[in-house]
């Protein structure tokens, strides 16, 4: 008897992405906040001590867990090089054209001699609902879809109300994180729905994602 392979959707823990919130299959929520970096090594000893102290205070002030993620990818400069070559062809000044050509060769040599990585930093903020709330949410969702013993006319409103309530709770956590990061010079912003879809698509389909980016830049 042949065993049917599970689809990618069955293996992922993500149920949906709605209103800038990632909803997992267990009913919990996640919000992803992108963060800027700090060149810690270029700071003076006093500045480093201040940043470390503020970071420690930031972590100690939290009453919920967070996950810090660094996403590293090989830097793809192909679109940039194509832009330079186009500019070189359009340039009328011969001296400028030569400079663009030399700069293009320099960039190609630099990237070819080392694996230059681009790094993006995220903080993942969780929010989990209670078991009773999860059951109530799932029961309402089942009735809304007409899969229960009787379809409740208010089920859809209940599901939406529960979602908005929990979304408000996690967004309070997001505001806490953003304000806390500001205290030691880190800028941050939550990803919206489109950015979340693009991020997860790129993570689970890296080759296809690179093709899509390359095609969009042409």
* Cα(153)–Cα(159) distance, integer angstroms: 11
More confident residue, 158 or 47: 47
Q: What is the per-residue burial (b if ≥16 Cβ within 10 Å, else e) of 30-62?
A: bbbbbbeebeeeeeeeeeeeebeebbeebeeee
- DSSP secondary structure of 71-102: EEEE---HHHHHHHHHHHHH---HHHHHHHHH
Give me 169's structure tokens.
């709770």
pLDDT of residue 92: 87
Rounded to an integer, what distance in angstroms lies between the CA atom of residue 69 and that of residue 66? 10
Q: Give the three-state DSSP class for 21.
A: strand
Claim: this prediction has a pTM higher than 0.85? no
Neighbours of 140 (CB within 10 A): 21
Q: What digits encode the pLDDT tens for the residues 109-155?
A: 877 777 777 889 999 999 987 654 555 455 554 444 444 444 454 55
Segment among 70-79, 134-143, 197-206 with least mean pLDDT: 134-143
Contact between residue 157 and residue 172 where contact means Cβ atoms under 8 Å apart:
no
**pLDDT the model gives residue 190:** 96
* pLDDT band with cut points at 50, 70 and 90 for residue 13: confident
Alpha carbons 189 and 34: distance in angstroms, whole number: 5
Least confident of 5-9, 63-67, 202-206: 5-9
- Give the model's pLDDT for residue 6: 56
């Amino acid at each position: 008897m042949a065993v049917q392979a599970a689809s990618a959707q069955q293996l992922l823990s993500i149920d949906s992405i709605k209103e800038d919130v990632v909803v997992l299959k267990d009913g919990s929520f996640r919000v992803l906040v992108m963060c800027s970096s700090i060149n810690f090594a270029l700071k003076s000893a006093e500045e480093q001590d201040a940043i470390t102290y503020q970071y420690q205070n930031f972590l100690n002030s939290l009453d919920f867990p967070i996950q810090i993620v660094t996403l590293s990818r090989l830097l793809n400069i192909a679109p940039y090089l194509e832009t330079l070559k186009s500019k070189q062809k359009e340039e009328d000044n011969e001296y400028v054209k030569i400079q663009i050509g030399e700069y293009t060769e320099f960039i190609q040599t630099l990237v070819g001699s080392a694996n230059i990585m681009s790094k993006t930093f995220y903080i993942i903020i969780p929010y989990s609902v209670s078991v009773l709330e999860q059951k109530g949410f799932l029961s309402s969702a089942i009735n809304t879809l007409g899969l229960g013993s009787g379809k409740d006319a208010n089920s859809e409103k209940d599901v939406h109300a529960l979602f908005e309530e929990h979304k408000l709770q996690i967004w309070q956590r997001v505001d806490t994180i953003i304000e806390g990061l500001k205290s030691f010079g880190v800028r941050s912003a939550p990803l919206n729905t489109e950015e979340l879809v693009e991020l997860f698509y790129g993570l689970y389909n890296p080759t296809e994602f690179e093709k899509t980016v390359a095609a969009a830049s042409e």
